[in-house]
Amino acid sequence: MTDFCMPSLGADMKTGTLVKWHVKPGDRLKRGDIIADVETDKGIMEIEVFEDCVIDELLLKPETEVPVGTVMAKIHSEVAKKVTEAKVPIKETAKEKHLIESTKPPVKTTVTSTPVTTDGKRLRVSPIARKLAAELGVDLTQIKGTGAEGAIQERDVRQAAALADKVEEPAIERPVEKPLETPAAPAKLPSSAEFQAGMRRAIAAAMSRSNREIPHYYLETQIDMSHPLKWLEMENQKRSIKDRILPVVLLIKATAKALTEIPELNGYWIDDRLQVEESIHIGFAISLRQGGLVTPAIHHADTKSLDELMAVL
């Protein structure tokens, strides 16, 4: 005896309602004969048997709605099947759902909170500004943003970081810093008027402080540069344009050399005594085309050749 089940007539058919049987127990059917009428969303459909068979038992009553795959009747085939195919009930196809990943139990995740200002409003911070603030240890709630609708942008964080350096850290922690050093040049130079103004402010602040706190004295001498400049001219003629050396490199090198001979000039007055610095770093002031000033430091200028100094510049 085999099961005759409610057939699936379409992917969106979930159930069928038996309307009426066309057979009774004992009836003989041929393959393709209609066994019943079934009502679906699309209307009443005739359903067939797929083999020659005899009806043994009708299990379902008319007007019953059942899911696809439900056994409706018991039948058997009289002729011994020469070939038996596995009659796989519909339920088994559900096993093939190995294709669909099993749901894992939910894992509790912690939601990281974003910084808010004191009045509880959400901060408008650009992604890169936020990233930079984390890197530089800048407190976003202390920054006034210059972006649209007060958004805190990259330049605001960089400025805040630079000013924080100036205001908070004593010279002892930054022996490399030269007194005239302005805030480190940012990786790029946004040329907005706002940034110009900001830079000017920073330069003014640094210079004012430098003059206030560090005694200044001035020495002057005259150096005849004709010989070195001539040498430079001849030297540069041998080189392609991109390899040529600027006159200022000679000055830097000379200064570095002089400091190796008179090390007392290369130091700080700290803790009521002179502390001489072993490394020789020369600060080189560059006027920016768009306005403003930066002073990169050329480290270990005494150990660098003219070419290396030029390259660093």
What residues make contact with another protein under the rule CB under 8 A?
Answer: 5, 7-11, 13, 31-32, 40, 42-45, 47-48, 50, 68-69, 82-90, 93, 96, 99, 126-131, 146-148, 151, 153-154, 188-194, 290
**Residue 67, beta-bridge partner list:** 15
C-alpha span between 183 and 294 (Å, rounded):
7
**Cα dihedral sign, 208-213-217-223:** negative
Residue 175 CB, nearest approach to another protein (Å): 32
Nearest to 26 by CA among 61, 60, 56: 56
Q: Closest distance between another protein and the C-beta of residue 94, in Å?
A: 9
Range list of H helices, the chain: 127-136, 154-168, 193-213, 226-237, 247-261, 306-312
Nearer to another protein, 175 or 291 (CB): 291
Residues 6+ apart with CB under 8 A from 28: 52, 53, 54, 78
Give least dist CB 27 to another protein, A.
20
Token pair in block for residue 34? 């209609």
Residue (148 or 234) nearer to another protein, CB: 148
Considering the complex, state which of residue 101 and residue 272 has its C-beta at the smaller distance from another protein. Answer: 101
Minimum distance between the CB of residue 295 and another protein, rounded to whole angstroms?
21
The smaller minimum CB distance to another protein, of residues 42 and 200, is found at 42
Distance in angstroms (rounded) separating the CA atoms of residues 189 and 196: 10
What is the nearest approach in angstroms of another protein to the Cβ of residue 120?
24
Locate 223 and state its tokens.
């150096």
User: CB of 161: closest distance to another protein in angstroms?
Assistant: 15
CB nearer another protein, residue 87 or residue 209: 87
First to last CA, the chain: 95
Query: Of 83 and 223, which has the nearer Cβ to another protein?
Result: 83
Q: Give dist(CA 273, CA 120) in Å, integer.
A: 50
